[in-house]
Structure 1
Amino acid sequence: MEPSVTTSDIAQLQKLVAEFSSHGDDYVFTHLTGADRLISNQPVQPIRISGMAWILVIKGSFQINLNLDPVAVEAGSVVILMPDTIISEREVTPDIDAYLLMLSPEFMRTINIDPNVMMTLPTATIHEYKPVLPLSAKEQELMKSYFELIHHNTLSNPDGMYVKSIARNLMSAMIYQMVQFVVKHIKVLGLEPIVADRPRSRRSTYVKDFMLLLKKFHKQERSVSFYAQQLYITTKYLSNIVKEATGRSAAQWIDEFVILEAKNLLRFSGKTIKQVSYELNFSNQSAFGKYFKLITGMSPSEYIHS
């Protein structure tokens, strides 16, 4: 299993970067430039981000693997890293100029975001989100202002009674602004956002809860019926609403989560195929091998050496 990186780990960058601030384990801000000593083009071992993070790229670019998929990040974009994102292998240009803000899961839960606002995005966009969002020059400046306000609030009020509350509200505003940017880009792509003041439908709630359950239980449970039972609905109904909302069936989502976890364990954990099989709750190595080959077209051993 890849190591999990927390805000406390990111705080270790303080001696390596020109600009840094943090509030306990709640959140960390860093300003990364090509002059910083941590910038390197050496591949990094896979890590799992425990909280949520944003990287605003002002200049330069970098290549990175997110959940084993290669992603190119260019200047003028923001990277949105959801909790439990797996990051590996990087290539950074010498002229990189970027801001990083990472929030702990505990602090994220204290930020008040109206769920109906989040549902202005099509469900498929929420669950198949693109981690890199291009920004216009004005949008970049606005996002940079949020990052700097959070940073200066922390530096200016190290022992302030309200520093955490101020940061929480700034981050809430930044998230709303980010949603506004996403909605704008969705319209450019010809997709229609949901009306903001429309209450979330029961179907949307089921789909969202299914994804949350899948994230939590995919190592132990691979049957659609298990998730349907947790939601107190029928297997057929769950399959239909997930397919309708995301364009993919519930079974396909389950397979994707399991295979992503399997690939990461096989290639980076140092565990044997047998150990991975048991960690993913297969009855034996043979059953795991058949499942893996059916989905990927190659055996676990072939994948390890590919």
Structure 2
Amino acid sequence: MGCSIIKDYIISDGKGSCKPFFLEQPTAIQGMIFMLCKGGKLSMKINSIEYTIRKYSLLTLLSGSICETIEISDDFTFEFLFYSIDFSFELNIPVNIDLLEKVSRFPVVNLAEVQFESMLDFHSFMAKHHGNEEHKFREHLAKNLLASFMTEMCNIYGEPREHKSYSDVYGRRAEIYRHFCKLLIEYIKKERTVQFYADKICICPKYLSQLIKQISGKPIMEWINGSTIIIIKSMLKTSPMSISQIADELNFPNPSFFGYYFKKHTGMTPLRYRES
């Protein structure tokens, strides 16, 4: 099958030249991605949290997610689909806030073999019709099949998960933690101080720092700096903007400090990373 494209809607079996861009370099996702893992292993950071994707895993990435591949095995095989935000507006699918909340908390779900094979069959059926360029109503059919796929996603995420959520363990503190994660995705391009995020949540910076470390095991500045570096790496590799323009876009005081910041956290200059 390889890869088939309609507007900003891509569906692929992972073979050929159509490889997911987010596996190749740090990326801020601008759309929706679904991946079914058929074998092998992928370790990935999603919004600064590390996940493992293996056989029978379903990976779902929401728009705005910040992801970076840590390690990928040679035998990693998968099928995936991607569609842009603009394309999603054409689907006329009601936004399910509960579904989005669950996906943001559990981007990786391990399915039972029967359920996984069912999703894989559905994906293959979608791909077959998506790639049929002679079909008179190809785009209309592709949209309707995608809407059906999303309905099945609602069913999967509607099932109880085996593991406990942060809310089950940490209660109110978990709500603050999730609020911080959402704010980080929204404001990371412009804001990198604990004070800013604490003010947004209406708590003191010291308490927010303690809470994030307690729940996640990582200092809050590791979250902030780690997310910032992923955004910078993504822009250096994918954006036509100059390094000075990227520094300005990300609200750094000047290109010199931008270069110092990036080298401090990566060990190389922005130019060297861009050319690597």
Q: TM-score range with shorter-chain normalisation?
A: 0.5 to 0.7
* In structure 2, C-alpha distance between the alignment counterparts of 1:163 and 1:85, rounded to whole Å: 24
Instruction: Find the counterpart in structure 2 of residue 210 from structure 1.
Output: 180
Unmatched segments (≥5 aa) in structure 2: 128-136
| Aligned counterparts, 1:230-241, within 5 A | 230-241=200-211
Q: CA offset at residue 282 of structure 1?
A: 0.9
Three-state SS of the structure 1 residue aligned to 2:192 is coil
* In structure 2, C-alpha distance between the alignment counterparts of 1:221 and 1:33, rounded to whole Å: 36
**Which residue among 193, 201, 226 is the counterpart of 1:223?**
193
Indicate if the aligned counterparts of 1:53 and 1:102 stay in contact, CA closer than 8 A: yes
* In structure 2, C-alpha distance between the alignment counterparts of 1:63 and 1:223, rounded to whole Å: 32
Q: Does residue 140 in structure 1 map to residue 152 in structure 2? A: no
Q: CA offset at residue 225 of structure 1?
A: 0.2
Indicate if the aligned counterparts of 1:51 and 1:83 stay in contact, CA closer than 8 A: yes
* In structure 2, C-alpha distance between the alignment counterparts of 1:170 and 1:218, rounded to whole Å: 32
| Aligned counterparts, 1:30-179, within 5 A | 30=11, 32=13, 39-40=16-17, 49-58=29-38, 76-85=56-65, 98=79, 100=81, 104=85, 110-113=95-98, 118=102, 126=105, 135-144=111-120, 169-177=151-159
- Greater RCO, CA 8 A, separation 6+: 2
Indicate if the aligned counterparts of 1:143 and 1:174 stay in contact, CA closer than 8 A: no
Q: CA offset at residue 83 of structure 1?
A: 1.8
Q: TM-score, normalised by structure 1?
A: 0.59
Indicate if the aligned counterparts of 2:68 and 2:230 stay in contact, CA closer than 8 A: no
Instruction: Find the counterpart in structure 2 of residue 4 from structure 1.
Output: none
Indicate if the aligned counterparts of 2:66 and 2:230 stay in contact, CA closer than 8 A: no
| Count, aligned residues | 250
Indicate if the aligned counterparts of 2:213 and 2:219 stay in contact, CA closer than 8 A: yes
* In structure 1, C-alpha distance between the alignment counterparts of 2:264 and 2:179, rounded to whole Å: 27
Q: Deviation per CA, 1:68-108, whole angstroms, max 9, x where unpaired?
A: x9x9976544332232357899x9x9xx7736375857678
Indicate if the aligned counterparts of 1:66 and 1:88 stay in contact, CA closer than 8 A: yes
Q: CA offset at residue 294 of structure 1?
A: 2.2
* Higher deviation after alignment, 258-267 or 290-299: 290-299
Instruction: Find the counterpart in structure 1 of residue 246 from structure 2.
Output: 276
Q: CA offset at residue 217 of structure 1?
A: 0.9
* Higher deviation after alignment, 132-141 or 275-284: 132-141
Q: CA offset at residue 221 of structure 1?
A: 0.9
Per the alignment, do residues 103 and 174 of structure 1 end up closer, same or farther by CA in structure 2, a change over 3 Å counting? farther
Q: Does residue 13 in structure 1 map to residue 5 in structure 2? A: yes
* In structure 2, C-alpha distance between the alignment counterparts of 1:149 and 1:217, rounded to whole Å: 39
AA paired with 1:110? V
* In structure 1, C-alpha distance between the alignment counterparts of 2:273 and 2:166, rounded to whole Å: 44
Q: TM-score, normalised by structure 2?
A: 0.65
Indicate if the aligned counterparts of 1:65 and 1:88 stay in contact, CA closer than 8 A: yes
Per the alignment, do residues 293 and 163 of structure 1 end up closer, same or farther by CA in structure 2, a change over 3 Å counting? closer
Q: Deviation per CA, 1:126-162, whole angstroms, max 9, x where unpaired?
A: 4xx6x665545234135447768999xxx9xx79xx9
* In structure 2, C-alpha distance between the alignment counterparts of 1:101 and 1:143, rounded to whole Å: 15
* In structure 1, C-alpha distance between the alignment counterparts of 2:165 and 2:14, rounded to whole Å: 39
Instruction: Find the counterpart in structure 2 of residue 252 from structure 1.
Output: 222
* Higher deviation after alignment, 288-297 or 48-57: 48-57
Indicate if the aligned counterparts of 2:57 and 2:111 stay in contact, CA closer than 8 A: yes
AA paired with 2:79? A
Q: Deviation per CA, 1:252-271, whole angstroms, max 9, x where unpaired?
A: 11111111111122233233
Q: Deviation per CA, 1:195-223, whole angstroms, max 9, x where unpaired?
A: 98x59832211111111111111111111
AA paired with 2:230? L
Instruction: Find the counterpart in structure 1 of residue 267 from structure 2.
Output: 297
